[in-house]
Amino acid sequence: MNQNNNIFDRRLKGLLSASGVERGELARHLGVSVPTVNRWLNGISTPNVYQFREIAHFFGMPYDWFLEDNGGIPDTDDLAVKLGLSPETVEALLELANSESEDVLTAVDDAVCAVIGAVNAVYGELLDIADGAAGEDLE
């Protein structure tokens, strides 16, 4: 198994866990079987370019985050604003992410996935509130 595949399957697992998306839901969205998704998660195979594009779009992540050791992280200041963290904290996390330790890489990936899950949850709540307010205006 090559290094890029290891990064991809680790990050896909983290996103599924953080987002609460089930393997079956992702499989249905992509038009593949659950065993196919399991093979991706176990590093046995990888999605084709079209499936990969859909996975990145589905989770709202840049393509390179799934493949590069540096995670395809955007500009530190932009990321700090999006995450509500100081640029110094983001830089410290990026330094940890560049560490050779697999445990540190996994912890950083898990933290990123947890933040994405929290943002998605808040966004979902805001959509529900907006939908409720729009429904009230119609009555």
Task: Give 135's pLDDT tier (boundaries 50, 70, 90).
Answer: low
> Which residue would you say has higher pLDDT here, 109 or 26?
26
Q: Which of these, 87, 105, 88, lies nearest to 96 by C-alpha position?
A: 105
What is the rounded distance in angstroms from the CA atom of residue 110 to the CA atom of residue 130?
A: 30
Domain count, the chain: 1
Per-residue pLDDT band for 1 (boundaries 50, 70, 90) equals very low
Percent of the chain with pLDDT over 70: 73
CATH code of residue 92: 1.10.260.40
| pTM check: above 0.85 | no
Range of the domain at 29: 3-138
Whole-number percent of the chain with pLDDT over 90: 19
Can you give the pLDDT at residue 71? 46
- pLDDT tens profile 15-28: 888 778 899 999 99
For residue 83, count other CB atoms closer than 10 A to its CB.
17
Mean pLDDT, all residues of the chain:
77
Q: What is the dihedral of CA 69, 83, 92, 117, to 10 degrees?
A: -50
